Amino acid sequence: MKHIVFLLSNYKPNITATSNCAFNVIQSLKGNYEVSVICLHYGEEKIIKESMDGVNVIRIRDNYAYILNLLKGKYLSSESSYTKVLFGVIFKLFRILNYLVFLIKPTSIRRSIINKFYENTKAINFEKKVSAIIPVSLGYESVVAGYKLKLDQKETVFIPYLFDPFTQNIALHKGSFVTKIRKKRHLALEKKVIEASDKVFILPQLEEIFSQPPFSEHKSKIVLTEHPLLGKVDNKNLSQVFSRNNKIKIVYTGALYQKIRNPEYFLNTFKISGINKISELHMYTTGDCDSILNKFIPSLKNTLILHGRVAFEEAQSAMYNADILINLGNSVSYQIPSKIFEYIATGKPIVHIYSLDDDKVIDILKDYPLALCLKCDIEQMEENSQKLFNFCTSNLGRSIEYEEIKELYSAALPETTSNLFSKYIHK
């Protein structure tokens, strides 16, 4: 049985959009391969080895995140005002120091993380030969570690699995200035990676980037895949998360960012639509938009219910118990909310709020029978509010059977992606 190693930043139970996709593919592969996962963790132990769902998992400590969480915990748990101020200052100074170190580095990747991925994969290979290395990005440290391992072991299949851009990623590089001055080095690094790769798996939103130099000269290596998030959920694993009343349950789950995925337009549209009088809007969120969300509490009293960060299982139960699902589009074209495929899998009516004319989710939803797409346009807010009201009331109780969804979105099935990996691992 061939041995595959996945390298990624997070893995279950630390659920992110990327780790959730990787988890689904791994579950589909593990019956035909021995699968190992090397990921990061943020606890006290330097390394944790465990078996989870038939997969060997090695968690290596991210020292920066560990210290950051430790200081934040000390700050939040401090009972005296003196220690609270002290740990608050230390926390801020630590972040400032790390930012200054980041600015003077030649690239935006952390060598310490690359080395940990590299050394632990070498150790695994010593125990049982590794047939294929699949680094999952973002972050790009896993990809660079996989690249180094490929140089050592030419016979090992090397397939980077990319969810986000690297060189063009302004958020990753902490601003457009750093993105620009490091562009040449980062492009050179990406070129080396793709030259050493056997194949490179990308998502549709990266297709335009990889159709341009220096990647276009290696177009035969590029494999287009979709988010592997389509799957039927066992109702036994779902819990009842809402109180029983006659109100329409409208749900948003996912991260919110002021610059990339801002909820303000949707909340203003919702507020004037009239639907707020006969519904509950439940928002399960992370990110930096708490101040925006809290601003709407007085005007949406008893309607807007903010749950904050919750366990994946609770958010999933909320989606499947919802009457209407809300998806907020990104303001950058190279990223789409992967959550849309989790929404589609529920078969529930979906309202998508977008700002870009070339928003990729509009294309995804064009074949979905229960979808409404509304553009963020101040001049159309009144009209959009009426459309929102009509859609929510006319589609209450409607849903799409999972078998129909599978036919419409077969590319998003985990087995579709895992079959592609098998094809190239055995080639």
Domain boundaries, the chain: 3-62+109-229+415-425, 64-104, 235-408
What CATH code is assigned to 3-62+109-229+415-425?
3.40.50.2000
DSSP string spanning 299-311? TTTTTEEE--S--
> 3-class DSSP state for residue 324?
strand
**Helices and strands (H and E) in the chain: how many:** 16, 15
For residue range 148-192, list pLDDT tens digits in order.
Answer: 999 999 999 999 999 989 998 887 888 889 999 999 999 999 999
Is 135:160 a contact under the CB 8 Å cutoff?
A: yes
Is 168:209 a contact under the CB 8 Å cutoff?
A: yes
Query: Can you give the pLDDT at residue 395?
Result: 96
Greatest C-alpha distance within the chain:
64
Q: Which CATH architecture fits 235-408?
A: 3-Layer(aba) Sandwich (3.40)
Would you say residue 337 has pLDDT above 80? no
The Cα 115–Cα 193 span in angstroms is: 16
- Kindly state the DSSP code that residue 212 receives in the 8-state scheme: S
Strands 34-41 and 55-61: parallel
Of the candidate ranges 154-168, 184-198, 334-348, 383-397, the one whose mean pLDDT is the lowest: 334-348
The residue with greater pLDDT, 409 or 427, is 409
Supply the mean pLDDT for the chain. Answer: 93
Q: What are phi and psi of 414, to 5 degrees?
A: -55, -35
The Cα 170–Cα 181 span in angstroms is: 12
Domain 3-62+109-229+415-425 shares a fold with domain 235-408? yes
For residue range 202-228, list pLDDT tens digits in order.
Answer: 998 899 899 988 898 999 999 999 999
Query: Can you give the pLDDT at residue 240?
Result: 85
